[in-house]
Amino acid sequence: MKILLLCEKPSAAKRIAKALDDNGDPIEKRIGSVPYYESKNGDRLLIVVPALGHLYTVAPKIRNRNVYPVFDFEWVPRYEAERNAGNIKEWIDAISKLSREADEFILATDYDIEGATLGYTILKYACGGKEEEAKRMKFSTLTDSELKQSYKELLDHIEFPMVEAGICRHMLDAIYGINLSRAMTVAAKRWSGKYKTLSTGRVQGPTLKFLVEREIEINCFVPVPFWRIDAEVEINGETFKIEYERSVIKSLREARSIVEDCSGRNGRIVDVNVRELHQSPPAPFDLGTLQREAYSLFKYTPRRTAEIAERLYLEALISYPRTSSQKLPKSINYRAILESLGRDAKYKRLTELLLGRESLTPVEGKGYDPAHPAIYPTGNLPERELSQPERRLWDLIVRRFMVAFGEPAVKQSIKVLIDVNGHTFYLRGRRILREGWMIFYRPFLRAEDVILPPLKVGQTVKIKNVSWKQDFTKPPSRYNPSSLLKKMEDEGIGTKATRADIIDTLYTRGYVSGDRATVSELGLDIIEVLSKYCPEVISVEFTRDLERSMENIKSGSERREDVIDRAVRHLKPILLRLKESERLIGEELSEAIRKTLLNRRIIGDCPVCGSGKLIIIRSRRTGKRFIGCTNFFKHQCNVSFPLPQKGTVSSANKICSKCGFPMIRLKLKGKRPLTLCVNPKCPGKDGMAK
């Protein structure tokens, strides 16, 4: 009997084929460039074939990109709808050929909405309608033991409620994204005659709106001056900073008065408040908390973290990463995982601390995902040398797993009230009394102890260096990729699998730039246009309502057809309004595109003439790019500098400390960005490397 076992990716197929083969040695074969494996399992021959992610996508039946609105959509092979997807045809043909020889079908893609939808479309369209009869493997790791157990306990059918929710999500994303994006792109092209891809969608729009609202808040912010008091206290020959009772002094006159009252005075301790705080271990990682922690520690974007975690999962080093769960189920053999991790010398002492206990009970967070547990290490050690980003992320996941079994940390907090001529200052101390779980997470902890000498009420201390300092109120911080991800989670828009890609799209489209997401003229105008002509499509409430509806589809309380019908009825009048205002919208967007493209070329001020801007220019004669001054076109400045011809160049928003010229950011594919001075004669560098 031949059984076709469909996997999501080639690396997953190879692991599954090896795990299920009686001898652990499957035969690798190929149809063209498409690999597949034959595994002997008892009296069955398993044909283990991978997909290449989604092989099918949702596309409008009317393919003309200048036509909108369109509401008739269908599933088509990706190569029919997307550029640069020509290799997908070979994969579909190969799977179709193998399916014709199969007696049974098993779906072994990732057990989530995307994996279920991906598998369903391949079974339906490439395998000739086998979606109803296919059985299902469910697993959270690619370890041999779990894969074998999953194969023994096959589910009778694929998860159709999850498929329904997935189809609905893909349909809604296409209906909204394609129509709204076409409306803006066509309007701008018809006005300016130039093509520029513009996009928005039911999640992308509200997400960009968060950024624009923050940008407007920052730009409209008016700083208000205030004063603060800085002071130190000397105790037993040691100097400590102390805080004034009020962090904000509203007038210079009052600040001066406080300094005069306290200068040259001694202080008297009027209270010593000592508290012990028990801090429980942090919960195990779900994808969102892993992405935020990796950004905080390593500055990895959410998308990069997801990609690295996916590689670790495919190598059977961690469990499935696209999860919302913060719970470790009892079915996981905690002790066996720790024993296996202890084979790595780096973790040996730490695992021994946990294995010496009679029982192991992990802490849990609130997050729950019925499909997969929290992210945890499988206990397998790497079979190859991991790259630095992979090693960092794996180490973080391993330590967070061990942390879950740690004892609470005990911290001591001391707050000392010091009276200085009628004014109150605070002296604060802190120290760790018992590390508990912190011993496992030590490389990632930043807090430092402030150890105070013994103090008592009534004690006199010497006050020194009392001064006032002027400051100004600060606007709210811009979002970064991590805080924007958290905002999307809190607002209930997008999914654990899509949020990182949506953030990445905002950068790719040129709507935002920089680690601190600065919104471009184009991003501001996109939201201004949508707010003016169709505010409903950037409504968080509407997007959140659709997300709830898709969860209801999974639970069976709503029908996919009803949700799509409601969304289409909501969208039709919006698109008619956009059509009626196409000329005005095109004019506004075209001007925003022009400004954005110009601003992206500006590197900084020209230090030679003092009035021009240094911009990236491409020679019409040679096609090569270089940096020149805008005053060249006025015959006032002829300064120019060469540029590397490969990679992406943008302003680093920095001035070279050695020569005062602007600096650029050079990003070469597959390499870390470089920050370079544009001045080839800069004394602080050799050649182009700073």
Classify strands 73-77 and 104-107 as parallel, antiparallel or unpaired: unpaired
Q: Quick one: residue 556, left, alpha or beta (phi over 0 = left, psi -120 to 50 = alpha)?
A: left
- pLDDT profile of the chain (690 residues), mean per 10: 96 97 96 97 96 96 91 96 92 97 97 95 97 97 96 96 95 94 93 89 94 95 96 93 96 96 94 96 96 96 95 97 93 94 96 94 92 96 95 98 96 96 96 95 89 94 94 95 95 91 92 89 91 91 91 93 94 92 92 84 89 89 90 87 88 85 84 84 62
φ, ψ of residue 572 to 5 degrees: the values are: -55, -55
pLDDT at 619: 87
Question: Which residues, including other chains, have CB under 8 Å from residue 352's CB and lie 6 or more apart?
Answer: 342
Cis geometry, peptide bond prior to residue 680 (ω within 30 degrees of 0) = no
Q: Which two tokens stand for residue 281?
A: 């271990």
pLDDT at 687: 45
Question: Which residues, including other chains, have CB under 8 Å from residue 134's CB and lie 6 or more apart?
Answer: 6, 105, 106, 107, 119, 123, 157, 158
DSSP-assigned beta bridge partners for residue 614: 604, 629
pLDDT at 684: 75
Distance CA 315, CA 571 (A): 43
pLDDT at 366: 93
User: Of 190, 64, 176, which Cα lies nearest the Cα of 589?
Assistant: 190
- Per the CB < 8 A criterion, the answer to whether 234 and 420 are in contact is no
User: Of 359, 295, 278, 280, which Cα lies nearest the Cα of 326?
Assistant: 280
Active site residues: 320
DSSP-assigned beta bridge partners for residue 429: 414
Cα dist from 364 to 103, 141, 400, 646, whole Å = 44, 20, 12, 48
Determine whether 26 is exposed, middle or buried from the number of CB atoms within 10 Å of its CB (0-12, 13-18, 19+): buried
DSSP 136-162: E---S---HHHHHHHHHT-BSS--HHH
Q: What is the pTM of this model?
A: 0.87
Beta strands in 236-359 (DSSP E): 238-244, 266-279
- Per the CB < 8 A criterion, the answer to whether 283 and 326 are in contact is yes
φ, ψ of residue 666 to 5 degrees: the values are: -110, 120
pLDDT at 685: 64
Distance CA 627, CA 602 (A): 9
Query: What are the structural domains, with CATH classification, of the chain?
Result: 2-158 (3.40.50.140), 166-219+480-593 (1.10.460.10), 225-281+409-472 (2.70.20.10), 287-403 (1.10.290.10), 606-677 (no CATH)
Q: Quick one: residue 421, left, alpha or beta (phi over 0 = left, psi -120 to 50 = alpha)?
A: left
Question: Which residues, including other chains, have CB under 8 Å from residue 494's CB and lie 6 or more apart?
Answer: 203, 207, 488, 502, 547
Distance CA 123, CA 105 (A): 9
Classify strands 602-605 and 460-472 as parallel, antiparallel or unpaired: unpaired
Distance CA 528, CA 591 (A): 13
Residue 602 CA to its chain's centroid (Å): 28
pLDDT at 598: 82
Amino acid at 416: V
**Helical H segments across 454-581, by residue range:** 481-491, 499-508, 521-533, 540-555, 560-580
Scan for tokens 């070469």, then name that residue: 668
φ, ψ of residue 289 to 5 degrees: the values are: -70, -35
Q: Over the range 7-16, which residues count as b (16 or more CB within 10 Å of their CB) and which as e?
A: bbbbbbbbbb
Distance CA 122, CA 111 (A): 15
Distance CA 374, CA 541 (A): 29
- Per the CB < 8 A criterion, the answer to whether 409 and 436 are in contact is yes
Distance CA 185, CA 689 (A): 40
pLDDT at 259: 96
